Amino acid sequence: MDKFSDMTMFVSIVKRQGLAAAGRDLGLSPATMTARLQALEERYGVKLLNRSTRHVGLTDAGELYYKACLDILDNVSEVENLIQNGMKEVKGALRVSAPKDIGKQYIMPILNEFVAQYPDVVPYLYLDDRISNIAESGRDIVIRYGELVDSSLISRRLSPSRRVLCASPEYLAKHGTPLKPEDLASHDCLVMLRSNEELKTWHFQEQEKKVSITVSPKRFSDDGEIIRQWALEGAGIALKSVLDVQADINSQRLVTVLNGYMKNFNTSTMVSSADLNVVYISKQFQPKRIRLFLDYLFERFPELLEKSGDLRS
């Protein structure tokens, strides 16, 4: 059998969680399925599946092969669709990941507008920013703050940004306004968790002077939206991207403090690491729906920012 048929068979086994069920889908007997899987494993000299009478599980090599098969089969399907239906066809799943604040305020409305134009596109919106391996996440587009480490991916800046310290007027009226970074030691601070790391050391820069302050955390969360909500409720001071809290500042629900300083969670490249970026995998046959959505995203996002009031300066 050719490699493409083997890939189709292997993906079916994993999805159907068994050789017999996959064989029924493919019109092959259990004996044939067993023989083909054995030949596949012998070809590569590795075990791809751990099998029991009721369950199949991927080995490390099997997981790598499975993900590669999905990617290849998806590309082939896209090419076939282009050939059969022409370039005008825009359909299929569109998987987008974004931080919760940005996702709800900006990306969700943009997605809604896009699928209204292309009703055969099915959007998946994942509200998180904790993806460690974008290439293996299955997401088409990842919107995230910070720099790109993996050079095999494409990163385009969606919007410049900066981090601000903010609190509710009620909190500041009760506890006072910090005038220098050192004053934060006596304030209640709302601290992000990232991969179980407590981001409680905040870094500041005023011209050439740099200072790092370990704050006193009042509350922790790994969800930026919860940090924002706690700040709105007067629970303490938060270090947020200005894009996340722009509308709250405009409406005076939140007030920024220590405005003369650059601020971040790390000490390197303090300004650029706070920018909002769009990350995606470069593919030779990138589906048209992804290309169109990227164009639409870069067109509409600045317009929505301008409508809400731009505080990046």
Per-residue pLDDT tens over the stretch 6-47: 999 999 999 888 888 899 988 999 899 999 999 999 999 999
Helix (H) or strand (E) segment spanning residue 2: none
Tokens of 124: 């998946």
Dist. CA 166–CA 160, nearest whole Å? 19
Q: What percent of the chain has pLDDT over 70?
A: 86
Phi-psi region of 39 (alpha: psi -120 to 50; beta: other; left: phi over 0): alpha
Q: Would you tell me the crossing angle of helices 3-16 and 30-44 to the nearest 10 degrees?
A: 120
Tokens of 74: 């998806």
Provide the strand spans (E) within 6-107: 49-51, 56-58, 92-98
Tokens of 60: 């490390």
Give yes or no for a contact between 265 and 241, defined as CB atoms under 8 angstroms apart. Answer: no
The predicted model scores a pTM of 0.63
**Integer-rounded Cα radius of gyration of the chain:** 24
- One digit per residue, pLDDT tens: the chain, 313 residues? 588 889 999 999 998 888 888 999 889 998 999 999 999 999 999 999 988 767 788 999 999 999 999 888 887 876 776 665 554 568 889 999 998 888 988 999 999 999 999 999 999 999 876 655 666 677 889 998 876 555 567 888 898 888 899 999 999 999 999 999 999 999 999 999 877 788 899 988 887 788 888 998 999 998 888 999 999 999 999 999 888 898 899 999 999 999 988 877 665 444 446 788 998 877 655 788 898 999 999 999 998 888 766 444 3
